Amino acid sequence: MPSMDVCFSPELLPLYNLTGKIAVAVDVLRATSSMVTALSHGITHIAPVSELDSCLAYRDLGYLVAAERDGIKAEGFDLGNSPFHYLEEDRTGRMLAITTTNGTQAIRLSRAADEVLVGAFLNVGAVAEYVRKAGKDVIVVCAGWKGLFNLEDTLFAGALAERLEGDFTLNHDATLAAYHLYKAAKADKLGFLSKSSHVQRLERLHILKDIEFCLQEDTYTVVPVLKGEFLVPAE
Ligand X SMILES: O=C(O)[C@H](CS(=O)(=O)O)OP(=O)(O)O
Applying CB under 6 A, the residues found at the interface with ligand X are 27, 29-31, 68, 70-71, 81, 100-103, 143, 145, 198, 201-202
Distance CA 87, CA 85 (A): 6
Write the CB contacts of 87 (distance below 8 Å, at least 6 apart in sequence).
Answer: 37, 41
**Which lies closer to Mg ion via its Cβ, residue 27 or residue 137?**
27
User: Side chain identity at 131, as an amino acid letter?
Assistant: V
Nearest distance in Å: CB 60, Mg ion: 28
C-beta nearest to ligand X: residue = 100
Nearest distance in Å: CB 203, ligand X: 11
- Report whether 113 contacts 25 (CB < 8 A): no
Exactly one of 25, 29, 55, 181 binds Mg ion (CB under 5 A); that residue is 29
Nearest distance in Å: CB 11, ligand X: 14
Write the CB contacts of 25 (distance below 8 Å, at least 6 apart in sequence).
Answer: 32, 103, 106, 107, 110, 116, 117, 118, 119, 141, 143
Write down the H helix ranges in the chain: 31-40, 52-56, 103-108, 124-134, 151-164, 173-185, 189-193, 197-204, 208-214
Binding mask 101-130 for Mg ion (x = CB under 5 A): -x----------------------------
Nearest distance in Å: CB 102, ligand X: 4
Distance CA 175, CA 216 (A): 21
Nearest distance in Å: CB 165, Mg ion: 26
Distance CA 113, CA 141 (A): 11
Contact of residue 83 among ligand X, Mg ion, none (CB under 5-8 Å per partner type): none
**Which lies closer to Mg ion via its Cβ, residue 25 or residue 170?**
25
Helix (H, G, I), strand (E, B) or coil at 153: helix
Exactly one of 21, 22, 26, 27 binds Mg ion (CB under 5 A); that residue is 27
Nearest distance in Å: CB 151, ligand X: 12
With contacts defined by CB under 5 A, how many residues of the chain interact with Mg ion?
Answer: 3
**Which lies closer to Mg ion via its Cβ, residue 100 or residue 219?**
100
- Report whether 66 contacts 98 (CB < 8 A): yes
Binding mask 36-55 for Mg ion (x = CB under 5 A): --------------------
Contact of residue 81 among ligand X, Mg ion, none (CB under 5-8 Å per partner type): ligand X
Around Cβ 150, how many Cβ atoms within 10 Å?
Answer: 22
- Report whether 123 contacts 220 (CB < 8 A): yes
Residue ranges in contact with Mg ion by CB under 5 A: 27, 29, 102
